[in-house]
Amino acid sequence: MAESTNHNGLYRFSIVTLCSTILLLVAGALVTNNNAGDSVPDWPLAYGHLVPPMLVGGIRYEYAHRVIAGIVAVLTLFLAAWLARSAPNRAARRLGWTALGLVVAQAALGGARVLFHHPAIVATAHAILAQLFFVAIVSLSLFTSAWWQHNSASLQDVLSPRLRSLAAWTTVAIFVQLILGAGFRHDAFGILPHLVGAVVVLFLAIWTSREVRRRFGQVHDLRRWGIYLQVFLGTQILLGIAAYWAVVKAAHEVQPNGLFVLIEVAHVAVGALTLAASVILTLSCARLIRPAEVSKVSAQAENSSLESRA
């Protein structure tokens, strides 16, 4: 009973950390899209103080981002320590320490962005680490759930390509697409790679969701994440079109307007949710579907049994 309560507490804490991480991504998008990245010239202090003048320029966005980042770092430290003590498997414990390392590296890159500039390179690297950290926290939220503890591989998938592989490649494509979007926002390169990536992601996501429905439409734990993936991606495509329109419209404005900021921040947030849905679908497939070799052996055994009966 006490062990079950402890696991429930660990799961709830991981969800709090995940929600805080999404809030951090939104705060980062507010910094970028309000052109507030250079509002505070020093680090880790702000104008030599713990609390800078909040109503000057974009300082409030930059400072809020730092505060939320600090909160996420502390939550991740506690989560890693809790996992080290209570996680039922070694992979979760290692991932907890990996997440902590990523958030520390994020802080260091954030400081480097302020102190040494090179915004296009450092900011894009910052975005890559942010998505890696987000994937780690999403994964930990699933690993600590009761669902993960009480389910194991039982489904067979003998079709090609294997759904486990297809879902994984979709997740990789979404991850790369988010990085391409970050590179475009930070002027590391133009929009063409991001547009090509959108086509690839759309194709893979539709294919994956279709195969989930066709092969395992009766399995609720797979079907619902396939639906979420489609819903989030469809919303993201619409937001992407709106975001490009907003960028063109705001090209000659001195300061970003409210609509531009709202669309761009929503685009970042829904992109994160799309990645989360794909990560959970991929991990769920890995949890519920037997590996290809096992599925093939089981299918051959079943065929042999049917032939012997005949």
pLDDT value at position 3? 60
Q: Report whether pLDDT(299) > 50.
A: no
Q: Which residues pair with 59 in a beta bridge?
A: none
CA 297/CA 75 separation, integer angstroms: 44
Question: What pLDDT, on the 0 to 100 scale, is given for residue 19?
Answer: 96
Mean pLDDT across the stretch 215-239?
94
Give the tens place of pLDDT for each residue, 50-74: 777 776 667 888 888 899 999 999 9
CA gap 17, 96 in Å, rounded: 12
- pLDDT (tens digit per residue) in 253-274: 666 777 888 998 999 999 999 9
147 vs 143: CA distance, rounded Å: 8
Alpha-carbon span 198 to 240, nearest angstrom: 9
Is the pLDDT at 288 greater than 80? The verdict is yes
Domain boundaries, the chain: 1-150, 155-310
- 227 or 127, which is more confident? 227
Q: Give bridge partners of residue 155 from the DSSP assignment.
A: 289
Whether the predicted pLDDT of 289 surpasses 50: yes
Q: What is the pTM of this model?
A: 0.87
Q: Which residue has the higher pLDDT, 124 or 74?
A: 74
Q: What is the pLDDT of residues 159-189, one digit of tens each?
A: 999 999 999 999 999 999 999 988 887 777 7
Q: How far apart are CA 273 and CA 197, in angstroms?
A: 17
